[in-house]
């Protein structure tokens, strides 16, 4: 089966090109031991996020959907000393595991886990007038992706990059009749992206350890409303 080949190739790429790291390994181990769903980015995808942080010179990262902190830790490992991740998590149990994993990785000073529904916390961040984020990783519940996209535009600057996970879902995204709320959520997001004058983006399909999926890569082009203003 193709899926088996995708996994074998992913393992091959990982063994060659993803440096082993005790912090990331133990975050995976502890998250699994705590019974968290094993839906974090794959090691190869985590490596891609790290390279993005390094290549773009990212200093401030916003993540929506922390889970056990694997992707947050991966990205934070490549931040400069004054770099920060703010990561949002609705499930207090996930957040607690993430905080433990982050502390064990020595990254508690760099990664702030905020607990609550993202649609509650995002307006708070805007109200606090936080510095714009350079990179936003959207990886939470898919039905709300359009709303997260709107907030991400308000919390970034021209040149910032947004990465949206789980856009393709085995090709389901191309089926307008698919009744699944996640699929419809992603289609609404892509419709908006297509018409959005403040950003440009595309979707890259992927295969690998997590099957057939894909991510959107978006570049913010024009200033949104200033952070902290209505
Ligand atoms: N980015 C993580 C995986 C995130 S999985 C990694 O790769 O390591 C998706 C997470 O989003 C789950 O932990 C889930 O509890 C959280 N989530 C779901 N709905 C949410 C919401 N409305 N607000 C914030 N987090 C949410
Ligand atoms: C699921 C969620 C994810 O963020 C992901 O990358 C893979 C699967 C899920 O909810 O099934
Ligand atoms: Mg995901």
Which tens digits make up the pLDDT trace of 195-227? 999 999 999 999 999 999 999 999 999 877 555
Q: Is 227 inside any structural domain?
A: no
**For the chain, what is the mean pLDDT?**
96
Report yes or no: 110 and 83 within 8 Å, Cβ to Cβ: yes
Closest CA to 220 of 164, 163, 160, 165: 160
Q: Is 24 inside any structural domain?
A: yes
Confidence at residue 224, expressed as pLDDT on a 0 to 100 scale: 73
pLDDT (tens digit, 9 = 90+) per residue, 152-199? 999 999 999 999 999 999 999 999 999 999 999 999 999 999 999 999
How far is the C-alpha of 133 from the C-alpha of 143, rounded, in Å?
A: 23
User: pTM for the complete prediction?
Assistant: 0.97
The separation between CA 39 and the C-alpha centre of its own chain, rounded to angstroms, equals 12
How far is the C-alpha of 152 from the C-alpha of 189, rounded, in Å?
A: 12
Confidence at residue 1, expressed as pLDDT on a 0 to 100 scale: 60
- CA torsion 188→190→191→193, rounded to 10°? 120
CA of 228 to the centre of ligand 1 (A): 24
| Sheet strands side by side (includes 111-115) | 111-115, 84-89, 60-64, 133-138, 156-164, 211-220, 199-208
pLDDT over 70 for what percent of the chain?
Answer: 97
CA of 71 to the centre of ligand 3 (A): 10
Q: Is 166 in the pocket of ligand 2 (CB under 6 A)?
A: yes
Q: Is 108 inside any structural domain?
A: yes
Confidence at residue 229, expressed as pLDDT on a 0 to 100 scale: 44
pLDDT (tens digit, 9 = 90+) per residue, 104-130? 999 999 999 999 999 999 999 999 999
Q: Is 39 in the pocket of ligand 2 (CB under 6 A)?
A: yes
| Ligand 2 atom nearest 65 alpha carbon | 4
Residue 130: CB atoms within 10 A of its CB come to 16
The number of domains in the chain is 1
Q: Is 159 inside any structural domain?
A: yes
Q: Is 57 inside any structural domain?
A: yes
CA of 192 to the centre of ligand 1 (A): 22
Structural domain that includes position 39:
4-220
For residue 14, the domain's CATH number is 3.40.50.150
Q: Is 226 inside any structural domain?
A: no
Average pLDDT over residues 27-39: 98
Q: Is 63 in the pocket of ligand 2 (CB under 6 A)?
A: no
Confidence at residue 135, expressed as pLDDT on a 0 to 100 scale: 99
Q: Is 230 inside any structural domain?
A: no
Q: Is 201 inside any structural domain?
A: yes
């Amino acid at each position: 089966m193709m899926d088996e080949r995708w996994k074998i190739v992913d393992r091959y790429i990982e063994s060659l090109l993803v440096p082993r790291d005790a912090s990331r390994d133990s975050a995976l181990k502890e998250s699994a031991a705590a019974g968290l769903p094993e839906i974090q980015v794959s090691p190869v995808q985590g490596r891609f996020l790290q390279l993005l942080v390094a290549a773009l010179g990212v200093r401030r990262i916003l993540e929506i959907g922390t889970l056990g902190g694997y992707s947050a830790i991966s990205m934070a490992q490549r931040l400069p000393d004054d770099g920060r991740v703010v990561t949002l998590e609705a499930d207090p149990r996930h957040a607690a595991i993430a905080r433990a994993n982050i502390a064990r990785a020595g990254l508690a000073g760099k990664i702030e886990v905020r607990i609550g529904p993202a649609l509650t916390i995002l307006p708070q961040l805007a109200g606090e007038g936080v510095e714009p984020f350079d990179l936003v990783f959207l990886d939470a519940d898919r039905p709300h992706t359009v709303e997260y996209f709107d907030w991400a535009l308000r919390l970034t600057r021209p040149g910032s990059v947004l990465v949206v996970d789980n856009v393709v879902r085995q090709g389901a995204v191309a089926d307008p009749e698919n009744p699944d709320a996640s699929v419809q959520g992603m289609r609404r997001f892509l419709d908006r992206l297509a018409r959005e004058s403040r950003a440009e983006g595309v979707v890259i399909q992927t295969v690998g350890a997590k099957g057939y999926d894909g991510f959107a890569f978006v570049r913010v082009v024009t200033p949104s409303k200033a952070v902290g203003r209505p």
